[in-house]
């Protein structure tokens, strides 16, 4: 083989480079499945099953948004005696009070950047400027 | 061949003249018949729309249907106690996470003070009482029955809620084109030129803020009404009778009783937007 000294190291570098995502995720924690932290208050029940929420919480939020803002349907959901006024801030964040440890854990992993938080306030943010209500 | 072409052109020309002229001729000949009231059919045709108007008489408006929330603001009470208005404005700011930008050009206004002549340009006269025109007037979104802003919005981000007559905003849809600001005759809409968060003094955890690039305005406290509460400004003036809130379509509501009793005015009535906010001056 001609130019053995150049081709073989070149091939090794090429293979290492192409497989970078595989061995990098294997060696570091970047590829580990996210573990969203459950509500600190110990709530076990949500408005829907965990499976449904995991897969379709965004559709549910959109539905609530349209119910509340466009259809004027602000009916307060009551599930097992607990009241959930439809809304990210009024229902979800009451239990899932740590957006950074719950929402972000999966969103960062999946590289999605929902724009909810452009307007909606996280409990951490509201705490930074204490409200009067 | 020549002969055929001549014939074709003649027919085509006659058809064009007939096509253009026929509707005009029908209109000209049909109108006198209707006007003179000949025939039962014509009379019946005229009577039908009148019945649809719900007995309002003449060529009046359609009978109001459903709920139309409105407000009666008694400016006399505010003139007596100016601190009431400050309290109402402060409550609104606190409840709705309204930013307070230092530059007045960037001001975000839901309910605010404005000179009387600015609020009522059509009602200002040469020699009006100083106690009225010298004091600031309350200004807020009028939640018009015929809202010009809704017609201007290209995304239906702002719309009239047919259930209660509130002109609502869906900030999720607002693209920040500011057509509604140009359309609103009352200056009731404000644009967020900057990120509002740093300029919000205190957060209300149950209400979102807005983001840079959206328009915002008074929502008649839809979120509080849903909980059975009164709008924040109404609550701030509770017991003084400065602001009365209720259904304008209900003849027995507080607002209607007040409007029946007192002389009231609306802002810029000539525009025809039918504001739901009434003023007693």
> Which residues in chain B are closer than 8 Å to A123, comparing Cβ atoms?
205
The partner residue sitting opposite A72, judged by closest CB among B94, B163, B201, is: B163
Which three-class secondary structure state does DSSP give residue A5? helix
pLDDT at B207 exceeding the cut of 90: yes
Instruction: With respect to residue A7, please indicate whether it lies within any of the assigned structural domains.
Output: no
What is the arithmetic mean of pLDDT over A93-107?
92
Please list the residues that pair with B165 across neighbouring strands: none
H or E stretch covering B272:
none
Q: Provide the pLDDT for residue B105.
A: 93
The partner residue sitting opposite A65, judged by closest CB among B94, B172, B209, is: B172
Alpha carbons A133 and A66: distance in angstroms, whole number: 26
> What six digits make up the tokens of A88?
């990210």
Q: Provide the pLDDT for residue A12.
A: 96
Instruction: With respect to residue A133, please indicate whether it lies within any of the assigned structural domains.
Output: no
Alpha carbon of B8 to those of A12, B14, B15, B19, B250: distances in Å? 84, 10, 11, 16, 68
Does A125 contact B at CB distance below 8 Å? Answer: yes
pLDDT at A124 exceeding the cut of 50: yes
Alpha carbons B113 and A42: distance in angstroms, whole number: 48
Q: Which residue, among B207, B210, B219, would best test binding to A if mutated, counting the most A CBs under 10 Å from its CB?
A: B207
> Which residues in chain B are closer than 8 Å to A125, comparing Cβ atoms?
197, 203
Instruction: With respect to residue A65, please indicate whether it lies within any of the assigned structural domains.
Output: yes
Instruction: With respect to residue A9, please indicate whether it lies within any of the assigned structural domains.
Output: no
What is the arithmetic mean of pLDDT over A33-43?
86
Residue of A nearest to B94 (CA): A132
- The CA-based dihedral angle spanning residues B244, B247, B252, B253, taken in that order and rounded to the nearest 10 degrees: -20
Specify the number of domains making up chain A: 1
Contact B208 A89 (CB under 8 A): yes
> Which residues in chain B are closer than 8 Å to A128, comparing Cβ atoms?
203
The answer to whether the complex's ipTM is over 0.95 is: no
Q: Provide the pLDDT for residue B45.
A: 46
Rg (alpha carbons) of chain A, rounded to whole number: 23
Is residue B248 exposed (0-12), middle (13-18) or buried (19+ Cβ within 10 Å)?
A: buried
Instruction: With respect to residue A61, please indicate whether it lies within any of the assigned structural domains.
Output: yes
Residue of B nearest to A116 (CA): B172
pLDDT at A60 exceeding the cut of 70: yes
Does B204 contact A at CB distance below 8 Å? Answer: yes
> Which residues in chain B are closer than 8 Å to A124, comparing Cβ atoms?
none
CA distance B209 to chain A (A): 5
Instruction: With respect to residue A12, please indicate whether it lies within any of the assigned structural domains.
Output: no
Does B170 contact A at CB distance below 8 Å? Answer: yes
Instruction: With respect to residue A92, please indicate whether it lies within any of the assigned structural domains.
Output: yes
Between chain A and chain B, how many beta carbons pairs sit less than 8 Å apart?
Answer: 62
Alpha carbons B162 and B254: distance in angstroms, whole number: 21
What is the arithmetic mean of pLDDT over B170-184?
95
The partner residue sitting opposite B204, judged by closest CB among A69, A128, A131, is: A131
What is the arithmetic mean of pLDDT over B183-211?
94
Structure confidence by residue, pLDDT tens digits, B11-20: 999 999 999 9
pLDDT at A74 exceeding the cut of 70: yes
Q: Chain-wide mean pLDDT for chain B?
A: 87
Residue of A nearest to B163 (CA): A72
Residues B190 and B108 sit within 8 Å (Cβ to Cβ): yes
A21 band by pLDDT with thresholds 50, 70 and 90 = confident
Structure confidence by residue, pLDDT tens digits, B96-145: 999 999 999 999 999 999 999 899 998 877 788 888 888 999 999 999 99
Contact B168 A69 (CB under 8 A): yes
- As a residue count, chain A comes to 133
Instruction: With respect to residue A103, please indicate whether it lies within any of the assigned structural domains.
Output: yes
pLDDT at B91 exceeding the cut of 80: yes
Q: Which residue, among B99, B168, B226, would best test binding to A if mutated, counting the most A CBs under 10 Å from its CB?
A: B226
The partner residue sitting opposite B211, judged by closest CB among A88, A118, A126, is: A118
Domain that holds residue A78: 33-128
pLDDT at A107 exceeding the cut of 50: yes
Structure confidence by residue, pLDDT tens digits, B39-83: 444 444 444 444 444 444 445 566 777 899 999 999 999 999 999
């Amino acid at each position: 083989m001609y130019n053995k000294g150049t081709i073989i190291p070149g091939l090794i570098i090429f293979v290492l480079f192409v497989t970078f995502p595989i061995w990098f995720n294997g060696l570091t924690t970047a590829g580990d499945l996210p573990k969203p932290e459950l509500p600190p208050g110990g709530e076990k029940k949500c408005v829907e099953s965990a499976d449904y929420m995991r897969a379709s919480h965004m559709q549910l939020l959109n539905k609530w948004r349209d119910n509340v803002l466009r259809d004027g349907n602000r009916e307060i959901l009551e599930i097992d005696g607990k009241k959930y006024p439809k809304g990210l801030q009024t229902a979800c964040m009451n239990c899932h009070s740590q957006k950074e440890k719950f929402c972000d854990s999966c969103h960062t992993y999946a590289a999605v950047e929902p724009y909810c938080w452009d307007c909606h306030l996280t409990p951490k943010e509201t705490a930074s400027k204490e409200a009067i209500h | 061949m020549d002969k055929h072409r001549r014939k074709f052109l003649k027919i085509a020309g006659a058809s064009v003249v007939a096509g253009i002229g026929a509707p005009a001729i029908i209109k000209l000949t049909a109108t006198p018949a209707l006007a003179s009231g000949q025939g039962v059919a014509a009379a019946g045709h005229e009577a039908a729309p009148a019945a649809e108007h719900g007995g309002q008489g003449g060529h009046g408006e359609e009978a109001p249907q459903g709920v139309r929330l409105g407000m009666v603001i008694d400016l006399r009470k505010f003139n007596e106690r100016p601190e009431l208005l400050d309290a109402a404005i402060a409550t609104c700011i606190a409840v709705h996470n309204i930013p307070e930008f230092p530059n007045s050009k960037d001001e975000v206004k839901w309910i605010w003070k404005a000179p009387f002549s600015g609020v009522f340009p059509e009602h200002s006269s040469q020699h009006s009482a100083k106690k009225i025109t010298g004091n600031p007037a309350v200004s807020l979104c009028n939640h018009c029955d015929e809202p010009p802003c809704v017609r201007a919005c290209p995304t239906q981000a702002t719309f009239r809620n047919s259930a209660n007559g509130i002109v609502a905003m869906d900030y999720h849809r607002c693209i920040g084109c500011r057509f509604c600001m140009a359309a609103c005759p009352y200056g009731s809409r404000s644009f967020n030129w900057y990120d509002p968060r740093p300029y919000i003094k205190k957060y209300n955890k149950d209400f979102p803020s807005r983001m840079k690039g959206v328009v915002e305005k008074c929502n008649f406290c839809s979120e509080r009404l849903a909980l059975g509460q009164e709008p924040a400004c109404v609550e701030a003036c509770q017991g003084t009778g400065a602001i009365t809130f209720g259904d304008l379509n209900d003849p027995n509501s507080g607002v209607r009783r007040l409007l029946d009793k007192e002389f009231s005015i609306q802002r810029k009535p000539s525009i025809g937007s039918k504001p739901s906010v009434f003023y007693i001056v």
